[in-house]
Structure 1
Amino acid sequence: MMPKFRTAGQRESVFNAEVISRFELYNSLFLTLPFYKVKDTGTLLPLFFKSCEEGVKEKQRPAEIIEGFFEKYTPGAETKDIHDLLFRFIQYIERQVVLFDAVEDASFSKLHTPDEQTSLKALLQRSAEHPALHERFQKLINDFSLRLVLTAHPTQFYPGTVLAIITDLTEAIKTNNLTEINTLLQQLGKTPFFNKNEVTPVHEALSLAWYLENVFYFAAANIQTETDQIFNEFNLESNKIVELGFWPGGDRDGNPNVHARTTIEVARMLRQILFRCYYRDFRNLKRRITFRGVEDTINVLQEVLYNNAFDNSIEGEDISAFLLENLNKIRETLINDHGGLFLEPVNNLIRKVDLFGCYFASLDIRQDSRVLRDVHAFCRQNKPINSLYPANYDELSESEKIGLISFKEARINFAEQGDDLVQDALQTIEEIRSIQKNNGVNACDRFIISNCQQASDILQLMELFLWNGWSLSNLTMDFVPLFETVKDLEVAAEVMETLYTHPVYQKHLASRGNKQDIMLGFSDSTKDGGYLMANWSIFKAKTELTAVSARHNIQLAFFDGRGGPPARGGGKTHRFYASMGREIANKNIQLTIQGQTISSQYGSVDSAEFNIEQLINAGISSGIKEKHNVLLDKEHSEVVAAMASESYEAFVALRQHPQFLPYLENFSPLRLLSKINISSRPVKRNKGRELRLEDLRAISFVNSWSQLKQNIPGFYGIGTALKNRENAGEWEKVSRTYQESGYFKTIIDNCMMSMSKADFSITAHLADDKEFGTFWKQLYEEYELSKAMLLKLSGLESLMANYPVDKKSIAVRERIVLPLVLIQHYALEKIRQAPADSVDAVFEKLAVRTVYGIVNAGRNTA
């Protein structure tokens, strides 16, 4: 059980005692470790820290700081020795970040206590006292669920080996086991943090599956157990409340390395890892249940579970019903003949089979609409459907296209093969059926269409299924539009209105329980329109989509594509869901968790349970209040709309600045990100073409700004917008909106979190740069303006003063990695100064190696 609720001041005191003090103690152990020249590294690193801090205060260039340090402390050292020491500094600091992670995670339950007033039990107790509220609660929980979808994005830098060490180190720190801590630090020092070989999508999936096996397998079951018990206390029927999704191996949008065979391989892997988890639990159960009456059933389960866990040649099938039948036989025997002895291990395994079936996590398929249009066009050239469409089909209007879509079930006779992307799409559509057969229908039953712009994008994809062996009567797939850009979000409701009124799509939705998932992308909308406009566009789209879905009696679920940082939809995520009004569908919370957010928020069973509970409680508390969202009131809506428009104009003007992309390329490691072997996905779309902003993936875009310690996508334009409202005499209106709207307040709080991780003093020397000085000043001035206006609006004395523990954690982490940031800027400076054809590879390697530690320390900066 979590300890009782603590005040912010109490939590800050615990943080100082439990985290800061412990980190300083265990950090000193590094000096005693038997690594190559570690004593020199450990002795010089504090001096290097001091030189970095002093140099930044004096606005020195990174090269001045670093070269000055070596002249002072290692005079006469060879260039090779200097570079060698810089690499050892990097390795040392990377491990300091891991140690801080482990120390903070060890204190998690003491630092993060749930608000007792918004706990599930407290909500039920209040609702029981008010019949109308209790009725709403009953209706809500019949449908309520939370789906967490793990995605493969290139900011999860810890390999499985390091994650395992962190887990063990965390447990050792909890008990202050110095001998074990010392041994684990030695292991950490000798364990590589990065891959030398190129990462494949299957490697990605295997790495991410570590969390499924070691965290979510336990956390989801524990949450379900607790929820069932609470509902049972109040005579309410429980349902499956936590679901897991998975993107590695299924997400091929912009990733040419994902193929149909990849998807099949990942689906098999997920199944086998799950059965190994089941078998591990079953062995523990078997050791206890040694009674008469269950021997035959135990033996049957032993063989089935073992074969499915370890026999790679076995033909998979959905045997979840068989497992439940036999486990329930054991359960009944224990109750009837043995007084219920050791009943809990059986109940626990039954619960897990109920939750995970034979698939563990649902594998989503995702592809860009432009690719799928090409696939549709390729199919139209072949018999027997080539006669159904005119040659100029692609040039027709949207309504004309929809009128021609016939939904004929046919087997196409391909005259020739299409290109790689076309063939992959067709093969994947075929293979989904075998995944459903082997792992269960829920194993792979969603196809997400990225960059969805029109209803025909969905309808044409349905046709592709019908042309490749599927039938309308048995189309066990959900088609999920993903609206990403500001423009696409504006027309989202219109697109869905067209789909909801289409007779074939209506029939398909009815076969799927009249449920529709719609995905909304924060990352690309931020990159497209800036932080405030992205959030406002998504809010408006959600209200409009909720209304149109309600008119057609469709149960809508929003699937939020949230990245780690506020600029990509992260931050205090649960507060967004808690602040929804009745105008926004919130019964089924679905969101991606990605990058270092996975390890920081779901890296241990404790942290995963806490954050899952926060999301569940936020969704339920919002749903039962039936409150109106004040942002829909005319005054509040007009204020935020004006601010969103003004911040959008400021951000677009910045993007269109001729120095915008050159600045990012010169002073961040953007061009070097492709050299980091952590992801199978390219840094940008249209590989091989000259870098263009529209081709740059949002994660690389945001990550580059965070490496620069400027976090432009997380705030730029909001200071201008607030100042404009003040100048227009509307400050009181803005202030009222901030006080009355939880949604708007969360936007502001997350913006301040993003700004807390920025530090313009590191690049202050650029103010005098002949080429980019003016541009740097423009960025800095907007930062200072935004900071001043946000503090005035919130009434805080400093950024994140209302979250003192988070603020202190950020400050410690940023201090730890300051040398990494300066080493990176030093290396980039050397690269800029060298002729293009004679760049020393060591500087590229230095810059690349620093990225790992900077991102890991930031936890949600990319």
Structure 2
Amino acid sequence: MRLSQKKAVFQNEVLTRFDLYKSLFLTLPFQRVKHTGTILPFFTNHCEQGVEAHHSPEQIIDSFFGQYEQYVKEDDRLDLLFRIVQYIERQVVLFDAVEDSAFKKVGKSDESGGMESIFTLAQTNPQLKKQVVSRLKDLSVRLVLTAHPTQFYPGPVLSIINDLIDDLKKDDIPNIHLLLQQLGKTPFINKQKPTPVDEAISLAWYLENVFYSVASGIQAKIENELEVSPDDIDHLIELGFWPGGDRDGNPNVTWESTKRVATLLRTILFRCYYRDFRIVKRRITFRGVESYMEELQELFYENSFNPVEKPVDETERILHNLTEIIRVLRENHDGLFVEIVEDLRRKVQTFGCFFTTLDIRQDSSVLRETFNWLLENYPKETGISLKDIGDSEEEKEKHIAFTEADLQEQDDAAPLVQDTLKVIRLIKDIQQSGSERAVQRFIISNCQQASDILGLMQLFLWSGWTKKGLTMDFVPLFETVDDLKHAADVMRSLYSNKTYAAHLKKRGNKQTIMLGFSDSTKDGGYLMANWSIYKAKVELTAISREYDVDLVFFDGRGGPPARGGGKTQRFYSSMGKEIENNHIQLTIQGQTISSQYGSLDSAKYQIEQLLHAGVISDLRQREGDTLTAKQKNIIDQMAAESHAKFLELRHHKLFLKYLETLSPLKELASINISSRPVKRNSDKELRLEDLRAISFVTSWSQLKQNIPGFYGVGTALQWAEDNNLWSYVKNLYETSGMFNTVIDNCMMSMTKSNFDITAYMKDDKEFGEFWTMLKEEFDRTKEYLLKLTGMKELMENYPVEKASICEREKIILPLLIIQHYAIRLLEDKQKDDKKAETYRKLIGRTIYGVVNAGRNLA
């Protein structure tokens, strides 16, 4: 389908249908809804005209209310603004549902044909089929759901969206009308901050309603199309989970919450199994299977509704009984209904008794503090003195002897020290109940030296674990530009350590390394972050191959483009020969979960795209995907220019003040969206290094100035042109999948920017010059991107996605004007606590609406 045709289909199937169904809101039997719905188009039009004229938020809203006599009082004005926000929130839900319901008809504008294209080719080419099967046996895709607060729909709203999608596919107007009524009555916000367990429950909705069936469906399709045994690809699709395990910078995550989440995941999974088993039980009513069915009935029921304190892993028992039922059906009953039993067995092979691998993550500083605390309190047992190791990395590595002990934590230890030691012991229990796949990785944030990992390994051995029974993988996370630069040296030290090398050998000689994008963007800007990670991957691959280590890259880049996401699958399909790509692992966060994995159709598409990328990157590597020395040198210099431009911005005296004054950064800390604080060291004055990347990106996106997604790129491209390198850069865009994707994602981020909304700041006495600097780089970047790509407008090659973005931006424009209006008036209301609180609530509600509408927000 041509791009113009895709856009026409999107117009008919999404935009037109959205306008039709949107009118149903006016018929809802709720007080004042009709009035709000009637006045909203006039308000939206007024906002559009005001933005076009570069008016301030106060001018826009005051002039609007000036047209209506009934809105003289401030309370009446605020009441209408709140109702407009609530109305738009529900319009966003409807648009999400309409767009998702049309997913199959509209499709995507990516060039990739997905797994279907591979199946078609494999049917006519036996040699290719053999290669594909061989590749799939080595390949794995792991999606790791995180609790980062970038999408705020509560569980009940997610369920309504799911039901709306189904009814919209059938154009069932009476049911759609009922669901919109339900939506009108359903709260969109939490009254209290969610706990880590609350976040786990929220994300478990996707596990239960989407991933559970989609993963097995894809596996079944691959098995049937390529005639491959389930045992050969049983770990092809894996899931990971961070809520309850990610304690980095979140004091609310404790060993108790980790335990509760692990128990929760196991229970939810068994309830999924039990629902499927009831279907099996209704169909498999034949002789010869009675004992197997009875045992399964007890296993599924008891683990679903009467879980014990310390359950054990029942995977092998379940698989044995299901396999025997399949055998009896084939031998004695002509294979009748065998497919529904095979489906359940496939799910058990995929999810075991754990559902998803719970990752444990903590900052290296906390782990060092725990290590030192044990040295101080157990000098004889540890055999190490703090004086001996000092601050020298060489001395630390030399004195870590990997001795085994069972040191008990004390009540006088700091809370984070106690939590670290308790969670290390808890891991054993979780593995006992769900196999080591239930929790097998400990991720070390801010990893800067080999001793960070060796010290953690020693902590396990001092907590009752043995070297022989250490069923854990230790995963360094390199995130800042400086850490990425030194990552290869750290890994060389690790691989050279005899004890660690022996541990790796027991773990299948497989090493996982996490590379974080978010903080490297905040640290070095968009282009430098992308390039630093690429260079690190090349260096880490070379060292791992030298030591014969099977390297797994775990990418913290599954969100919006400014956080490393966007068209993620294209990054994986363009990895050249210098980068290990057998295992695709990435975080999926926030609105990316709901937008790309929120429905069965979209989740199936996204997972198949990643599988396709993993297959194609191996079988059909393009020559341009492995960069030449000259190309690397050019990107290196461009990244340096971009980095310098970004640092100039970061070090500007108004940088943080601008963000704090004009964006809702301060209010992010007070709204009930996440269990994790907005910044590290939350009790201290705000510093950029302490500010969480998610808050950093969200604040810029609420301003519609998506700085983390483009700033410095235009300067880098201009530098290339000024230094007679433009032809090389154009060649890079045309031949390098990595560079092409970096540029296209940058264009997506810029398409979601709108400097007209804040254009009134141009003449501001304090911030006018600073705003102008941002706008000039935006204009420069846009000019050079269009010149580089040969396009007339941004995202010209992705008309469907651009149309979706533009419609969403149109829907939320009134929210942005209301938000900026409230932020500017809040300062004047500080003396009146009640009024100030009302404006804060208004800001908070607009944040929800803008983010939920954003889908890959920045």
Does TM, scored on the shorter chain, surpass 0.5? Answer: yes
CA gap 1:117/1:563 in 2 versus in 1, 3 angstroms: closer
CA shift, 1:567, in A, is 1.1
Would you say how many aligned residue pairs link Structure 1 and Structure 2? 857
State whether structure 2 residue 54 is matched by structure 1 residue 59: yes
Q: Distance in 2 between matches of 1:203 and 1:377?
A: 33
CA gap 1:704/1:114 in 2 versus in 1, 3 angstroms: closer
Q: Which residue of structure 1 aligns with residue 397 of structure 2? A: 402
Per-residue CA shift, 1:552-596, capped at 9, x if unaligned?
111101000014211111101111001111111111000000000
**Given that residues 115 and 609 in structure 2 are in contact (C-alpha distance below 8 angstroms), is that contact kept between their aligned partners in structure 1?**
no
State whether structure 2 residue 141 is matched by structure 1 residue 146: yes
SS in 2 for 1:184: helix
Q: Which residue of structure 2 aligns with residue 341 of structure 1? A: 336
Q: 2:327 aligns with which of 329, 332, 339?
A: 332
SS in 1 for 2:386: coil
CA shift, 1:459, in A, is 0.1
- Comparing 547-556 with 387-396, greater Cα deviation is found at 387-396
Q: 1:661 aligns with which of 656, 665, 670?
A: 656
SS in 1 for 2:67: helix
CA shift, 1:396, in A, is 3.2
Q: Which residue of structure 2 aligns with residue 640 of structure 1? A: 635
Q: Which residue of structure 1 aligns with residue 767 of structure 2? A: 772
**Given that residues 12 and 805 in structure 1 are in contact (C-alpha distance below 8 angstroms), is that contact kept between their aligned partners in structure 2?**
yes
Q: Which residue of structure 2 aligns with residue 844 of structure 1? A: 840
Once the two structures are superposed, the pairs formed by residues 500-511 of structure 1 within 5 Å of their partners are 500-511=495-506
CA shift, 1:518, in A, is 0.4
CA gap 1:75/1:129 in 2 versus in 1, 3 angstroms: closer
State whether structure 2 residue 454 is matched by structure 1 residue 464: no
Q: Which residue of structure 1 aligns with residue 201 of structure 2? A: 206
**Given that residues 384 and 410 in structure 1 are in contact (C-alpha distance below 8 angstroms), is that contact kept between their aligned partners in structure 2?**
no
Per-residue CA shift, 1:214-240, capped at 9, x if unaligned?
000011010111111122179995443
Once the two structures are superposed, the pairs formed by residues 354-753 of structure 1 within 5 Å of their partners are 354-383=349-378, 385=380, 388-393=383-388, 395-412=390-407, 417-628=412-623, 630=625, 632-753=627-748
Q: 2:798 aligns with which of 793, 803, 806?
A: 803
Per-residue CA shift, 1:82-118, capped at 9, x if unaligned?
1111000000000000000000000001122697974
CA gap 1:656/1:631 in 2 versus in 1, 3 angstroms: farther
Amino acid at match of 1:763: T
CA shift, 1:793, in A, is 0.3
Once the two structures are superposed, the pairs formed by residues 746-765 of structure 1 within 5 Å of their partners are 746-765=741-760
CA shift, 1:78, in A, is 2.4
CA shift, 1:740, in A, is 1.4
**Given that residues 268 and 304 in structure 2 are in contact (C-alpha distance below 8 angstroms), is that contact kept between their aligned partners in structure 1?**
yes
CA gap 1:437/1:788 in 2 versus in 1, 3 angstroms: same
CA shift, 1:143, in A, is 1.4
Q: Distance in 2 between matches of 1:131 and 1:294?
A: 39
Per-residue CA shift, 1:114-158, capped at 9, x if unaligned?
979744454466578889866754543221100000000111201
SS in 2 for 1:472: coil
**Given that residues 310 and 429 in structure 2 are in contact (C-alpha distance below 8 angstroms), is that contact kept between their aligned partners in structure 1?**
no
State whether structure 2 residue 8 is matched by structure 1 residue 18: no
CA gap 1:445/1:574 in 2 versus in 1, 3 angstroms: same
Amino acid at match of 2:685: E
SS in 1 for 2:249: coil
**Given that residues 855 and 861 in structure 1 are in contact (C-alpha distance below 8 angstroms), is that contact kept between their aligned partners in structure 2?**
yes
Q: Which residue of structure 1 aligns with residue 250 of structure 2? A: 255
Per-residue CA shift, 1:18-48, capped at 9, x if unaligned?
0011100000010010122111101111110
Amino acid at match of 2:251: P
Q: 2:87 aligns with which of 49, 71, 92?
A: 92
SS in 2 for 1:243: strand
Q: Distance in 2 between matches of 1:581 and 1:508?
A: 30
Q: Distance in 1 between matches of 2:70 and 2:777?
A: 42
CA shift, 1:634, in A, is 2.1
Amino acid at match of 1:429: I
State whether structure 2 residue 826 is matched by structure 1 residue 861: no
Structure 1 unpaired stretches of 5+: 1-5
Q: Distance in 2 between matches of 1:46 and 1:415?
A: 63
CA gap 1:232/1:114 in 2 versus in 1, 3 angstroms: farther
**Given that residues 582 and 614 in structure 2 are in contact (C-alpha distance below 8 angstroms), is that contact kept between their aligned partners in structure 1?**
yes
**Given that residues 145 and 587 in structure 1 are in contact (C-alpha distance below 8 angstroms), is that contact kept between their aligned partners in structure 2?**
yes
Q: Distance in 1 between matches of 2:126 and 2:770?
A: 61
CA shift, 1:388, in A, is 2.6
Per-residue CA shift, 1:390-433, capped at 9, x if unaligned?
33356332122101111000122556631010000000000000
- Comparing 76-85 with 812-821, greater Cα deviation is found at 76-85
Q: 1:175 aligns with which of 167, 170, 188?
A: 170
Q: Which residue of structure 2 aligns with residue 230 of structure 1? A: 225
CA gap 1:726/1:833 in 2 versus in 1, 3 angstroms: farther
SS in 2 for 1:632: coil
SS in 2 for 1:683: coil
SS in 2 for 1:557: strand
**Given that residues 672 and 848 in structure 1 are in contact (C-alpha distance below 8 angstroms), is that contact kept between their aligned partners in structure 2?**
yes
SS in 1 for 2:586: strand
SS in 2 for 1:491: helix
CA gap 1:657/1:120 in 2 versus in 1, 3 angstroms: same
Q: Which residue of structure 2 aligns with residue 3 of structure 1? A: none
Q: Which residue of structure 2 aligns with residue 285 of structure 1? A: 280
Q: Distance in 1 between matches of 2:139 and 2:226?
A: 13
Q: TM-score, normalised by structure 2?
A: 0.97
**Given that residues 334 and 341 in structure 1 are in contact (C-alpha distance below 8 angstroms), is that contact kept between their aligned partners in structure 2?**
yes
Amino acid at match of 1:358: C
**Percent identity of paired positions between Structure 1 and Structure 2:** 56
SS in 2 for 1:186: helix
